[in-house]
């Protein structure tokens, strides 16, 4: 059985190894158990029922609310040699009948259906004539009224266990709190299901919040880094999507609007053009996204903050489904809360309205957070994240300066206490800054001893400090409609015992500036574009999205290893037997010609059973400590790129290891990593002029000619020479 599982994995899906948790889930499915699966978006939930479907004798029925996604998944399965089809409202009646005939004849292995079909008696009769071996309920959180995306049609799924008693059910979701999980098990009558929770962490996603001030200019600056890369921008309203898409088009970007108010055919066409890379930026309401299986979305932007953490997590889940590094940026201003108040006021049920309001407050807390954003989200979903620094959010990546905030904190807390713990941050700041407005005069707050006593901090800096003091637990911000600041017991103790307070603030040049770019495999960009063009040609000819042919991750590996024969080409991630046969010759032709023209050499590909690139046996370390492994690779004089690839880590992580080794006093010889003398001296002189603490001044002084990684490497080499 294990050998057969791996054989099907490679032959039909092109992978050498399973991702975390997949094999255990598949084995449980094949054992006939009901299963509940909670896995992050992009971690391979679909494979947990698609692979067993090929090993079971009958049909696998997949129930999914994602109509647009069904076609993409079916196209991908067909490209991998799997007999699959779908039935939903997008198909006319005369196209549904042939699909039903195929299912009845036993030719199909996987059939996708929309949940509303389960309410139709004639459709239930049709299903009962099939030999169903497995039922998969995708987006299972939709069945729970406590879920963020409850769908009434999902209530029809209660009867599945009664009708198909012998068929195991696998329920899958990427977003479910403990309460929602229990509700799913109850509603599907699978209380004895095996539970698989792989965690919520998406380490390839970089999370970032930007202050929504001069938002459009900041957005333009951001998008310049994503030329020809897929981007989703979420807006609050239909009107906003159309206006923003038009503004982007007028500035030269390839952007289109998408929202539920569009004519169905127009909406469908827009979605298909985006999936097929005809344009790269889609500006959408949350009506767009759940049905998108496009794996190469490199940036997701929330132009207005979303209404729940669950919604935010699911929407950023559209980014980096192929496992490559991707960015998630939220524009935030407290003023946007007013936009959400409109839909809150429309909710008649008091309990639901309060629940919705609390979810909104959670998003605002997340946006104003000064600690690790990844840890906060994972804690929200009940997962304990133990790392001190995630290296994947703005709060962890931004350089900090330490501020002795004792005096300013005393003034802020005094102002809150003297006004009776009854006012919000803006009013407190106005008092401290000596503003003369009607509210201050009417309350007599211009007569207080704390009036106009803060001269050395701007309004924005005071807002930043107040948020940090909230995080420190000295004050709280209430969750009322008009939130106010209140001093906590810890705050009273801070004042009475004259305690000290130090806060970590983002350095001024890092506030709202670009973070260091995210690293990917250092592949040949020119060859990648040639392969990308070929992929698009083949996809258009076959009338499928480009990623159905090969993912970006596959193309990047091709453009890194330059495989020139079928044996090596078959080692590329995502190349199964069917795709090797169908597309191998076309892609090899391009690679071979490029290698010859540029006098390049093909690199041997080594893979472990985990599917990761590995070193030959003689070059592998037996020491499990992560820094020791990097140190051993340095001793063998591997390049930074090869170290990163061998270990399955980002280049920036390898450089961090080098810095840690140097800081710990370890004697390491990294002279061989030194760039050309000219480059080294340029960067070294820049450090001499601006000091070694900050990278940005050096980066800008050098006119952005050199990446942060090269700059950090030079700094490390300089320190190693001391």
pLDDT of 597 above 80? yes
What's the rounded Cα separation, in Å, for the pair 521 and 625? Answer: 23
CA 587 to chain centre: 30
Domain 2-197 grouped into CATH 3.40.50.2000: no
pLDDT of 9 above 60? yes
Extents of the domains making up the chain: 2-197, 205-394, 400-506, 525-597
Highest mean pLDDT among 373-382, 401-410, 584-593: 584-593
In the structure, what pLDDT confidence band is assigned to residue 82 with cuts at 50, 70 and 90? Answer: very high
Neighbouring CB atoms inside 10 A of 350's CB total: 8
**Does this chain's domain 2-197 share its CATH topology with 205-394?**
yes
Q: Which CATH number is 400-506 given? A: 1.10.10.10
Residues 577-605: b if buried by 16+ CB within 10 A, e if exposed? bbbbebbbeebbeebeebbeeeeeeeeeb
Q: What is the mean pLDDT of residues 451-462?
A: 88
Q: What is the mean pLDDT of residues 423-437?
A: 92
In the structure, what pLDDT confidence band is assigned to residue 664 with cuts at 50, 70 and 90? Answer: low
Which of 175-189, 341-355, 587-601 is predicted with the least confidence, judged by mean pLDDT?
A: 341-355
- Please report, rounded to a whole number, the percentage of residues in the chain having pLDDT higher than 70: 90
Q: Are 157 and 143 in contact (CB under 8 A)?
A: yes
pLDDT tens readout for residues 614-643: 433 333 333 335 676 787 778 878 888 878
Q: Are 223 and 281 in contact (CB under 8 A)?
A: yes
In the structure, what pLDDT confidence band is assigned to residue 223 with cuts at 50, 70 and 90? Answer: very high
∠ CA 579-582-586, rounded to 5°: 105
Q: Which fold has domain 205-394?
A: Rossmann fold (3.40.50)
In the structure, what pLDDT confidence band is assigned to residue 599 with cuts at 50, 70 and 90? Answer: confident
- Please report, rounded to a whole number, the percentage of residues in the chain having pLDDT higher than 90: 34
pLDDT of 177 above 50? yes
The confidence score (pLDDT) of residue 606 equals 54
What's the rounded Cα separation, in Å, for the pair 505 and 511? Answer: 9
What's the rounded Cα separation, in Å, for the pair 18 and 10? Answer: 10
Q: Are 583 and 569 in contact (CB under 8 A)?
A: no
In the structure, what pLDDT confidence band is assigned to residue 521 with cuts at 50, 70 and 90? Answer: low
In the structure, what pLDDT confidence band is assigned to residue 147 with cuts at 50, 70 and 90? Answer: low
Q: Are 548 and 79 in contact (CB under 8 A)?
A: yes
CA dihedral sign, ordered 392, 393, 394, 398: negative
β-pairing verdict for 485-487 and 475-477: antiparallel
pLDDT tens readout for residues 263-307: 878 888 888 899 889 999 999 987 565 456 688 999 999 999 998
The confidence score (pLDDT) of residue 516 equals 37
Instruction: Report helix, strand or coil for 258.
Output: strand
Structure-block tokens of residue 519 = 């690293």
In the structure, what pLDDT confidence band is assigned to residue 460 with cuts at 50, 70 and 90? Answer: confident
Of residues 346 and 701, more confidently modeled: 701
Residue 351 CB burial class (10 angstroms; 0-12, 13-18, ≥19):
exposed
Residue 373: its H or E element: helix 373-380
The confidence score (pLDDT) of residue 708 equals 80
What's the rounded Cα separation, in Å, for the pair 607 and 236? Answer: 45
The confidence score (pLDDT) of residue 514 equals 39
The confidence score (pLDDT) of residue 594 equals 92
- Strand ranges, E, within 25-150: 35-38, 59-63, 84-87, 110-113, 132-137
Which of 101-110, 282-291, 302-311, 674-683 is predicted with the least confidence, judged by mean pLDDT?
A: 282-291
Structure-block tokens of residue 313 = 């997590």
Pick from 308, 269, 263, 268: which is nearest to 286 by CA? 308
Of residues 442 and 339, more confidently modeled: 442
The confidence score (pLDDT) of residue 622 equals 31
Distances (CA, A) of 306 to 236, 285, 302, 340, 537: 8, 10, 7, 9, 37
Of residues 506 and 307, more confidently modeled: 307
Q: Are 718 and 687 in contact (CB under 8 A)?
A: yes
pLDDT of 515 above 60? no
β-pairing verdict for 194-197 and 35-38: parallel
What's the rounded Cα separation, in Å, for the pair 712 and 13? Answer: 39
The confidence score (pLDDT) of residue 455 equals 87
Of residues 153 and 675, more confidently modeled: 675
CA dihedral sign, ordered 247, 253, 254, 258: negative
Q: What is the mean pLDDT of residues 242-251?
A: 92
Neighbouring CB atoms inside 10 A of 42's CB total: 22
What's the rounded Cα separation, in Å, for the pair 700 and 506? Answer: 18
β-pairing verdict for 230-234 and 110-113: unpaired
pLDDT of 112 above 70? yes
The confidence score (pLDDT) of residue 289 equals 52
pLDDT of 127 above 60? yes
The confidence score (pLDDT) of residue 722 equals 65
Structure-block tokens of residue 264 = 């169905």
Q: Give the residue ranges of DSSP H helices in 485-639.
A: 489-496, 525-542, 546-549, 552-561, 566-569, 577-597, 626-635
Contact residues for 582 (Cβ-Cβ < 8 A; gap 6+): 79
Q: Are 292 and 241 in contact (CB under 8 A)?
A: no
What's the rounded Cα separation, in Å, for the pair 393 and 371? Answer: 9
Share the mean pLDDT of the chain: 84
The confidence score (pLDDT) of residue 623 equals 34
3-state secondary structure 379-419: HHCCCCCCCCCCCCEHHHHCCEEEEECHHHHHHHHHHHHHC
Domain 525-597 grouped into CATH 1.10.760.10: no
pLDDT of 517 above 80? no
Q: pTM to 2 decimals?
A: 0.61
């Amino acid at each position: 059985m294990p050998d057969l599982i791996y054989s099907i994995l490679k032959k039909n899906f092109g992978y050498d190894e399973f991702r975390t948790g997949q094999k255990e889930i598949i084995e449980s499915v094949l054992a006939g158990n009901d299963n509940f699966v909670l896995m992050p978006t992009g971690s391979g939930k679909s494979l947990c029922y698609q692979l067993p479907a090929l090993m079971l004798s009958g049909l696998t029925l997949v129930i999914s609310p994602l109509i647009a996604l069904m076609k993409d998944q079916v196209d991908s399965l067909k490209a991998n040699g799997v007999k699959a089809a779908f039935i939903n409202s997008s198909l006319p009646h005369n196209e549904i009948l042939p699909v039903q005939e195929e299912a009845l004849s036993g030719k199909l292995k996987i059939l996708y259906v929309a949940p509303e079909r389960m309410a139709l008696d004639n459709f239930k009769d049709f299903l009962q004539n099939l030999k169903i071996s497995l039922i998969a309920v995708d987006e299972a959180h939709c069945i729970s009224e406590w879920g963020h995306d409850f769908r009434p049609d999902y209530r029809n799924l209660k009867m599945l266990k009664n009708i198909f008693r012998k068929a195991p059910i696998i329920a899958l979701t990427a977003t479910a709190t403990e309460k929602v999980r229990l509700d799913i098990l109850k509603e599907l009558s699978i209380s004895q299901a095996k539970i698989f929770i792989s965690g919520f962490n998406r380490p390839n996603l970089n999370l970032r919040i930007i202050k929504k001030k001069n938002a459009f200019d900041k957005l333009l600056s951001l998008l310049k880094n994503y030329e020809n890369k897929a981007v989703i921008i979420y807006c609050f309203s239909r009107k906003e999507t159309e206006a923003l898409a038009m503004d982007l088009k007028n500035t030269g970007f390839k952007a289109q609007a998408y929202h539920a108010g569009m004519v169905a055919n127009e909406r469908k066409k827009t979605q298909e053009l985006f999936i097929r890379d005809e344009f790269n930026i889609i500006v959408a309401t949350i009506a767009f996204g759940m049905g998108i299986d496009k794996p190469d979305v490199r940036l997701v932007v929330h132009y207005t903050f979303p209404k729940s953490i669950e919604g935010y997590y699911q929407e950023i889940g559209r980014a980096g489904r192929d496992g490559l590094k991707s960015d998630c940026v939220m524009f935030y201003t407290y003023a946007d809360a007013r936009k959400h108040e409109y839909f809150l006021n429309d909710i008649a049920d008091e309990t639901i309205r309060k629940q919705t309001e609390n979810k909104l407050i959670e998003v605002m807390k997340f946006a104003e957070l000064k600690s690790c954003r990844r840890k906060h989200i994972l804690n929200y979903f009940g997962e304990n994240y133990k790392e001190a620094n995630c290296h994947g959010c703005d709060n962890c990546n931004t350089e900090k300066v330490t501020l002795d905030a004792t005096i300013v904190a005393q003034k802020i807390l005094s102002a809150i206490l003297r006004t009776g713990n009854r006012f919000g941050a803006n009013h407190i700041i106005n008092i401290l800054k000596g503003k003369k407005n009607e509210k201050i005069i009417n309350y007599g707050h211009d007569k207080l001893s704390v009036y106009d006593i803060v001269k050395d901090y701007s309004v924005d800096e005071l807002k930043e400090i107040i948020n940090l003091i909230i995080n420190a637990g000295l004050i709280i911000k209430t969750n009322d409609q008009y939130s106010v600041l209140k001093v906590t017991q810890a705050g009273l103790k801070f004042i009475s015992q004259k305690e000290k307070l130090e806060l970590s603030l983002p350095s001024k040049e890092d506030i709202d500036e670009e973070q260091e770019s995210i690293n990917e495999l250092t592949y040949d960009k020119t060859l990648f574009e040639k392969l990308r063009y070929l992929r698009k040609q083949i996809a258009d000819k076959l009338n499928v999205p480009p990623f159905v042919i090969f993912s970006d991750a596959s193309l990047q590996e091709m453009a890194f290893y330059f495989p020139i024969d079928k044996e090596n080409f078959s080692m590329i991630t995502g190349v199964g037997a069917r795709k090797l046969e169908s597309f191998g010759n076309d892609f090899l032709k391009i690679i071979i010609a490029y290698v010859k023209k540029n006098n390049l050499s093909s690199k041997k590909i080594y893979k472990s059973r985990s599917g990761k690139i590995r070193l030959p046996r003689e070059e592998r370390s037996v020491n499990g400590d992560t820094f020791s492994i990097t140190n051993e690779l340095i001793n063998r004089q591997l390049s930074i790129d090869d170290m990163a690839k061998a270990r399955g880590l980002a280049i920036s992580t390898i450089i961090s290891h080098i810095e840690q080794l140097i800081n710990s006093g370890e004697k390491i010889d990294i002279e061989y990593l030194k760039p050309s003398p000219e480059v080294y001296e340029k960067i070294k002189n820049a450090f001499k002029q601006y000091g070694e603490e900050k990278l940005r001044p050096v980066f800008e002084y050098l006119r952005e000619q050199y990446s942060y990684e090269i700059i950090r490497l030079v700094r490390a080499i300089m320190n190693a020479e001391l």
